[in-house]
Structure 1
Amino acid sequence: MRSPVFCIRLSIACGAAVSMLSGCGAVGGSGVTDQVVVSPPARGAVPPSTHEGAASVSVGLPGLGPRTSASIPEESEQVVLVTGDGINSSQSTVVLYDRTASGWQAGSVWRAHNALKGWTEDHHLNDLRSPIGVFRLTDAGGLLPDPGSRLPYNRSNAFTVGGDGFEGEPLAGSFDYVVAINYNRAAGTSPLDWTRPLGAERGGGIWLHVDHGGPTHGCVSLPKDHMKALLLALDPARHPVIVMGDAGSLAR
């Protein structure tokens, strides 16, 4: 829609009326990080795929324009591509790509939610939009025990969340599994860490997490089985990144 010991009540985590976390765009602090690779700009008209099928191989990542593609680090061999249905849409598609000798190999195509109001190139606290850009994925965690993640995994009861989402859906279980998206955070720390290098006003706590059936505050959410599969697939040795935004912006 964090410090491990900063467990406070907030009304802004992932659309919750009351939450025990500062996830999905809630308040933060300041610090140092390697986080943002770049935020690609503008709008085009490349429709996202909604087909869920077998893996395929392409030389380049589909739907990405030259500026977005150039923002992916050369050492990155895994890309989680999140393609929003539109700049103001809370619906998106997620595909994990692995770099091979012949090109990028696509995994399954999963439907997902993003922020209530869609996407932005200039994310700020409480704008109810997900940040567009290319961000590293270095840290994971959740309420449930580590299922076998190769990313560092912080199991904590502080990932408990309650209340209802924007469409009245219960939020319980949303943080059973999370992967921190390195937007305005310190890499190499728990997703619960409260450090905000760009300042609190730029938001933070942007995660991949379990879908609760409605829009998020700023995160990207996947059904639980897909979220677990993604968590198990991500390999820090392959320097995974997430490329996220509406289809038009990513086509730039």
Structure 2
Amino acid sequence: MPVRKGTATVLTCALSAALVLTGCTAGRSPAPAPPSARDVHDGRDGGAGPAAASRAPRQERRTPERIPGIGPTTHTRIPDATTQALVVSGESADGNVVTAVLHERDRAGRWHRAAGPWSGHNALRGWTDAHEAGDLRSPIGVFRIGDAGGRLPDPGARIPYDQDEEFAVSGTGFLGEPLEGSFDYVVAIDYNRVAGTTPLNKERPLGPEKGGGVWIHVDHGGPTQACVSLRRENMTELLRALDPAREPVVVMGPAGELAL
């Protein structure tokens, strides 16, 4: 929920890369010896001798590479159809400084960095996996990001963008920094909101006590109430990069927990 002019309340925010080995020898190799009886499958033990094994094609199963810094447990929460993930990693559970990197998955199932790293902030008191309204912590998790908006005109976003004067904000932040312009560009994080609607939508499916209005927005130079903030130029880059066909998500939380 955006901050209204004349109040000191800030929006509560609730706010997821081959080695080729070659070898050679000098001189002529001796002619191979004929196979012995031990090299031939005798049909009794169900196995195959070395000769048969050498003829069989070698099959290796490669699993898709995980996003750097993201552990197996967190990775299972990224939808199979998602090929674009913004990873927002905090310094610690109680820290409010973040690094964000946009990753994309290729057709071979391998993840690559597409943009970033970008610096920014999260909530004043850090992170939580049980976010409540007013706790001054950002929610930990994997959330869809598919709706955007802002006070300024669409900078070229591919996801739906709602330009509206309602994104205006005033007042000061926790460090006394001005908040004006913080909502010039925003991306809604699908925490306790209705997906597919403007970020201004105030419906809270989990109830108001679980907070809401969790956004990625323009950084104002200090911690947020629950949102994630990035520098203005990074916000425009993000808006132009997010592709709804890739079903983008944000993977957010302290680095130690995301590595699980």
Aligned equivalents of 1:180, 1:25: Cα separation in 2: 9
Aligned pairs, how many?
A: 211
Aligned to 1:180: 188
**Aligned-partner residue type, residue 154 of structure 2:** D
Q: Does 1:24 align with 2:35?
A: no
Q: State how far apart, in whole Å, the 2-side matches of 1:154 and 1:108 are.
A: 25
> 2: distance between equivalents of 1:65 and 1:226?
26
Moved more, 93-102 or 233-242: 93-102
TM-score (norm 1): 0.80
Cα offset, 1:63, TM superposition: 1.2
Specify the structure having the higher radius of gyration (Cα): 2
Q: Is the CA contact 1:25–1:126 (under 8 Å) kept in the aligned structure 2?
A: no
Which of 90, 101, 104 is 2:111 aligned to?
104
**Contact 1:12–1:217, Cα closer than 8 Å, also in 2:** no
Q: Which amino acid aligns with 1:104?
A: W
Aligned to 2:96: 90
- Structure 1 position 101, deviation (Å): 3.2
Partners of 1:208 and 1:219 within 8 A in 2: yes
Structure 2 residue runs of 5 or longer lacking an equivalent are: 17-63
Partner Cα distance (1:223, 1:186) in 2 = 26
1:63 corresponds, among 51, 65, 69, to 69
How far did 1:249 drift?
Answer: 1.2
The aligned residue for residue 55 of structure 1 is: none
Does structure 1 residue 171 correspond to structure 2 residue 171? no
Deviation at residue 8 of structure 1 after TM alignment: 8.0
Distance 1:117 1:12 in 2: 16
Specify the alignment match of 1:154 in structure 2. Answer: 162
SS of residue paired to 2:173: coil
Aligned to 1:78: 84
Alpha-carbon shift at residue 65 of structure 1 (Å): 1.4
Measured against aligned partners, the alpha-carbon deviations of 1:174-195 in whole angstroms (never above 9, x if no partner) come to 0000000000000011000000
Structure-to-structure mapping, 1:1-252, within 5 angstroms? 2=1, 10-13=7-10, 23-25=11-13, 59-102=65-108, 103-106=110-113, 107-252=115-260
Distance 1:97 1:166 in 2: 31
Deviation at 1:100, TM superposition (A): 1.1
Percent identical pairs in the alignment equals: 53
Counterpart contact for 2:6–2:171, Cα < 8 Å: no
In 2, the alpha carbon distance for the partners of 1:8 and 1:161 equals: 6
> Residues 113-163 of structure 1: CA distance to partner in whole angstroms, max 9, x if unpaired?
000000000000010000000000110000000111111100000000000
Which structure would you say has the larger RCO, counting Cα contacts within 8 Å and 6 or more residues apart? 1
Matching residue's letter, 1:94: A
Query: 2:217·2:227 contact (CA, 8 Å) conserved in 1?
Result: yes
- Aligned-pair Cα RMSD in Å: 2.1
Flag as ranges the 4+ runs of structure 1 deviating above 2 A: 6-12, 23-26
Following the alignment from structure 1 to structure 2, what is the Cα–Cα distance between the partners of residues 111 and 129? Answer: 18
The amino acid that maps onto 1:175 is F
- Cα deviation for residue 59 of structure 1 reads 2.0
Q: TM-score, normalised by structure 2?
A: 0.77
Q: Which runs of 5+ in 1 are unaligned?
A: 14-22, 27-35, 38-57
Q: Offset at 1:12?
A: 2.9
What's the offset of the Cα at 1:10? 5.0
